[in-house]
Structure 1
Amino acid sequence: MEKRLPTVEMWFLRRIFRTSWTEKKTEEEVLRLTDTNRSLLRLIRKKQMEFFGKINRHDGLEKLMLHGKVEGRSARGRQRQTFMDILSRFFNTPNKSLSKLDIFRQSEDRETWKFLIVDVCARPDT
Structure 2
Amino acid sequence: MKTVLTNKNISIRTRRRALECYIEPILMYGCEAWTISKQTQRKLEATEMWFLRRMLRISWTAKKTNDTVLEEAHTTRLLISKIRKRQATFFGHVMRREKLENLVTTGMLEGKRSRGKQREKLIEGPTDWLKAGKSLEAIEATKDRKKWRTMIANAVKQGT
TM-score tier, shorter chain, comes to 0.7 to 0.9
Q: Which runs of 5+ in 2 are unaligned?
A: 1-39
Q: Structure 1: how far apart are the matches of 2:157 and 2:70?
A: 19
* Equivalence for 1:107: 142
**Relative contact order, CA 8 A, sep 6+: which one is greater?**
1
TM-score normalized by structure 1? 0.85
* Equivalence for 2:104: 65
* Equivalence for 1:122: 157
Q: Residues 110 and 18 (structure 1 numbering): CA distance in 2 closer, same or farther, change over 3 Å?
A: same
Matched, 1:28 2:59: no
TM-score normalized by structure 2? 0.68
* Equivalence for 2:56: 17
Q: Structure 2: how far apart are the matches of 1:68 and 1:39?
A: 30
Q: Structure 2: how far apart are the matches of 1:40 and 1:67?
A: 26
RMSD: 1.7
Q: Structure 1: how far apart are the matches of 2:96 and 2:86?
A: 15
Percent identical residues: 36
Q: How does 1:36-115 map to 2 (within 5 A)?
A: 36-92=75-131, 97-115=132-150
Greater than 3 Å deviation, 4+ residue runs: none
Alpha-carbon distance, 1:29 to partner:
1.4
Q: Deviations over 1:37-76 (max 9, x none)?
A: 1111111111100010111122322123224522222201
Q: Structure 1: how far apart are the matches of 2:94 and 2:45?
A: 28
